[in-house]
Amino acid sequence: MTSIALYRRYRPQSFEDVLGQEHVTETLQTSIREGRIGHAYLFSGSRGTGKTSTARILAKALNCEKGPTPNPCNVCDTCVAITEGSSLDVIEIDAASHGGVDDVRELRENALLAPAIARKKIYIVDEAHMVSTQGWNAFLKTVEEPPEHVIFVFATTEPHRVLPTILSRCQRFDFRRISSATIAEHLARVAKEEGIEADEGALQLIARSAEGGVRDALSTLDQLAAAGSVTVQDAARLLGSSTGDLMFEFADALATGDTGAAVQRIAQLVEEGHDLRVFARQVVEHLRALLLTKHVAEPGDLIDATDETRARLAAQADGFSGAKLLHALRAFVDAMSEMRQQAAPRLSVELAVVRVTMPEADDSAASAIARIERLERVLEVQRSGEQPPPAATKAPAPEPVAKPEPTPSKSTKRAKTTTKPAAEKAEEKKAPPEPNTAAGLVDLEMVRRSWPVVLEEVRQKSRKLHALLGDAGVQSFDGRVITVEVRFAIHGDMVTEQKNAALIADAVQSVFGISPVVRAVVSARAEEPAEGLDAIDDTSADPLDVLKSGFGDDIVEE
């Protein structure tokens, strides 16, 4: 093998060689055939998708001695000079290093001169988003009224950073990511030609991790080939798991509420020296793609992804409710902006994870999302015409004293005394609670899980009552009566005072859509933690220890 990198050696030299961009190349060929050539083009797309190659082919097509032609000959002096990069009339500028105003001024003057040999003078401005604002302003006049012999091709990975007045004067072509099947085929062809022995599986792995970029795929093949043969094991070792896979795994953890897996992943990234700011942005991008996939029928160019990735996105989006996705996106956008302001990126990302995977721990958006999700369930039941079971038949209303909690290990020492259910009496004087569609759908477990959300609702109304409830958990719920477990009898009396019981019932109503009767029991195990925090206590991975301290203890006395 020679030492020229594969990706340079296999640069497409005719429009037909450009993989996966037929929507661009065929349009260009037609306009050349019909003599309708623009003065300014914008080629946008991620790296290694063929922008520069296509710009050079266009230059050849226009300047070929046998042209202008949609099929440049590649053998005439002009074509050869362009291929070799020695043509005086095809000028490539890297805006990353030459995007300043002086560079552009020089270019502008130069552009006025007629081409040296060829028909057209073609400026290929690479990384066009790096042109400075002043640079663009210097460009503007030339792009607005270009000399007859001048054509500009601006290539960029970030079209939104190109000055809008320039954009509006360009004919725009969006280069797509190339499917991994196409890339794998291409790699196989190159390997064969180069006499590189390569497993098909390895090539597929390389193609997939290139995420639509041919250049990266060829570079990886190059690297592996230099080390000997190209096997699946070698490829896997070199590539690790790609960013794409990582994002899918991470989002899976968010979807299933696997706090441990998500936080572990963050720990691993930190250990490997990744920039969590970059990670957070990638997560936001991934969630955005999921959201668009879920809600937009034909997202098209709104999502920058290969077809396989789109299919994976669709499958993953199914695992999220719309509300949860939106909530997750919010959480990570917040994390990003937090990170911009202060210096604890890890904590910001971990907090975002907890907000998403334990909505109960989040006091704002979560209560909304919990409500929406429950509402969605209620609506679903109504739509399917299924009658939710009447609340009363779900479980007989237990007398807290007579029937302690069924959990064997805890039940024996659980309830000691019952305070008189004053609220119940008050409640019963009113009309019986109207048959409630939501009631049959809400069970003890659900109430416990979202109890912190209820407490937060209470806090909004009365800090005193919130403080009083403190770490009170839910002892039982039968669809109608909710029994709160408090530490001291006096607290129980206060909780069931009519005013307070009504406040709690309202909070439950706003979260679950049901209006329960509130009772209280005094806990026999005052030293044990409240129910709401159990979920957090279960995971004692140390990052969570840090996080834990941020929740639950924000009681402020009035």
Going from the C-alpha of 8 to that of each of 4, 12, 113, 154, 205, the distances in angstroms are 7, 9, 31, 20, 22
Q: Is 90 in the site for Zn ion (CB under 5 A)?
A: no
The dihedral built from the CA positions of residue 144, 150, 151 and 156, taken in this order, carries a sign that is negative
Min dist. Cβ of residue 126 to Mg ion (A) = 5
Report the alpha-carbon distance of residue 259 to residue 350 in Å, rounded: 9
Closest CA to 158 of 199, 129, 115: 129
Min dist. Cβ of residue 155 to Zn ion (A) = 22
Supply the DSSP symbol for 400.
Answer: T
Using only the alpha carbons of the chain, give its radius of gyration.
Answer: 32
Among 32, 50, 99, 305, binds ligand ADP (CB under 6 A): 50
> Is the separation of the CB atoms in 105 and 138 below 8 Å?
yes
Take residue 442 and report the two structure tokens written for it. Answer: 């809400």
Kindly report the backbone phi and psi dihedral angles of residue 92, in degrees, each rounded to the nearest multiple of 5, phi listed first. -100, 130
Residue 552, binding choice from Zn ion, Mg ion, ligand ADP, none, Cβ under 5 to 8 Å by partner class: none
In whole angstroms, what separates CA 301 from the centre of its chain?
A: 16
Q: Is 76 in the site for Zn ion (CB under 5 A)?
A: yes
Query: Which lies closer to ligand ADP via its Cβ, residue 214 or residue 370?
Result: 214
**49-57, 133-141, 363-371, 408-416 -> range binding Mg ion (CB under 5 A):** 49-57
Report the alpha-carbon distance of residue 180 to residue 514 in Å, rounded: 51
Among 13, 14, 19, 371, binds ligand ADP (CB under 6 A): 19
Among 24, 41, 42, 48, binds ligand ADP (CB under 6 A): 48
Residue 36, binding choice from Zn ion, ligand ADP, Mg ion, none, Cβ under 5 to 8 Å by partner class: none
Query: Which lies closer to Mg ion via its Cβ, residue 96 or residue 311?
Result: 96
Query: Which lies closer to ligand ADP via its Cβ, residue 182 or residue 242?
Result: 182
Q: Is 52 in the site for ligand ADP (CB under 6 A)?
A: yes
> Is the separation of the CB atoms in 230 and 203 below 8 Å?
yes
The dihedral built from the CA positions of residue 373, 376, 382 and 383, taken in this order, carries a sign that is negative
Report the alpha-carbon distance of residue 111 to residue 100 in Å, rounded: 16
Query: Which lies closer to ligand ADP via its Cβ, residue 10 or residue 136?
Result: 10
Q: Is 29 in the site for Mg ion (CB under 5 A)?
A: no
Q: Is 73 in the site for Zn ion (CB under 5 A)?
A: yes
Residue 214, binding choice from Zn ion, ligand ADP, Mg ion, none, Cβ under 5 to 8 Å by partner class: ligand ADP
Edge-to-edge strand list for the sheet holding 481-486: 415-418, 517-523, 481-486, 473-477
Min dist. Cβ of residue 215 to Mg ion (A) = 8
Among 29, 49, 63, 156, binds ligand ADP (CB under 6 A): 49
Contacts 24+ apart (CB under 8 A), 255-258: 255/316, 255/319, 255/320, 255/324, 256/319, 257/357, 257/358, 258/357
- What is the β-pairing status of strands 40-44 and 473-477? unpaired
Q: Is 172 in the site for ligand ADP (CB under 6 A)?
A: no
**63-71, 235-243, 464-472, 549-557 -> range binding Zn ion (CB under 5 A):** 63-71
Take residue 357 and report the two structure tokens written for it. Answer: 């995977």
Q: Is 52 in the site for Mg ion (CB under 5 A)?
A: yes
Coil/strand/helix, residue 68: coil
Q: How many chain residues interact with ligand ADP (CB under 6 A)?
A: 22
Among 15, 21, 400, 530, binds ligand ADP (CB under 6 A): 21
Q: Is 7 in the site for ligand ADP (CB under 6 A)?
A: yes
Min dist. Cβ of residue 380 to ligand ADP (A) = 45
Region 206-245 residues binding ligand ADP, contact defined as CB under 6 A: 214-215, 218
Nearest residue by C-beta to ligand ADP? 50
Report the alpha-carbon distance of residue 146 to residue 134 in Å, rounded: 18
Q: Which residues bind Mg ion (CB under 5 A)?
A: 51-52
Binding site for ligand ADP (CB under 6 A): 7-8, 10-12, 18-21, 45, 47-53, 155, 178, 214-215, 218
